[in-house]
Amino acid sequence: MAPELACPIAPVVDVVFSRWTTPILWTLNEFGRQRFVELERRISTITPKVLTERLRRLERDGLVVRTYHAEVPPRVEYEISPLGRSLSPLFAALTAWSPNLAKVEEARRAYDAR
């Protein structure tokens, strides 16, 4: 059986929850249109190379819109697309669940103490 038939959310997880995709989408959703350097500052642990790669992938997937302004110097801005914004309820649900991380840590400590 194909994995997507066994677990219909697996393809969604592949698109939305790769290592850097979620922080990028969340940042654009929370703070609006950003220049590359602004994203880089907000997601301080990402390298410029990886940020570039992820932004390209997100643009290809239709989750991010890249706008090039032909100025001197050139200006490029990124914003979450309507399709990307449709993930807002998912971000809100995950944020609401995040207090449970303390319980996860507690369970890990209990497990490791065995």
Give the model confidence (pLDDT) of 53-93 as tens digits.
999 999 999 999 999 999 898 899 999 999 999 999 988 99
Helices (H) and strands (E) in the chain, counts: 8, 3
pLDDT of amino acid 15: 84
> Which residues in 4-30 are b (16+ Cβ under 10 Å) and which e?
eeeeeeeeeeeebeeebbebbbbbbbe
Question: Would you say residue 4 has pLDDT above 90?
Answer: no
Mean of the pLDDT values across residues 6-32? 88
Range name among 12-16, 43-47, 90-94 with the lowest pLDDT average: 12-16
Contact in structure between 16 and 25 (CB atoms under 8 Å): yes
Domain range summary for the chain, segments of one domain joined by +: 3-113
User: Which pLDDT band, with edges at 50, 70 and 90, does 10 fall under?
Assistant: confident
CATH of domain 3-113: 1.10.10.10
**C-alpha to C-alpha distances, 13 to 8, 16, 108, nearest whole angstrom:** 10, 5, 24
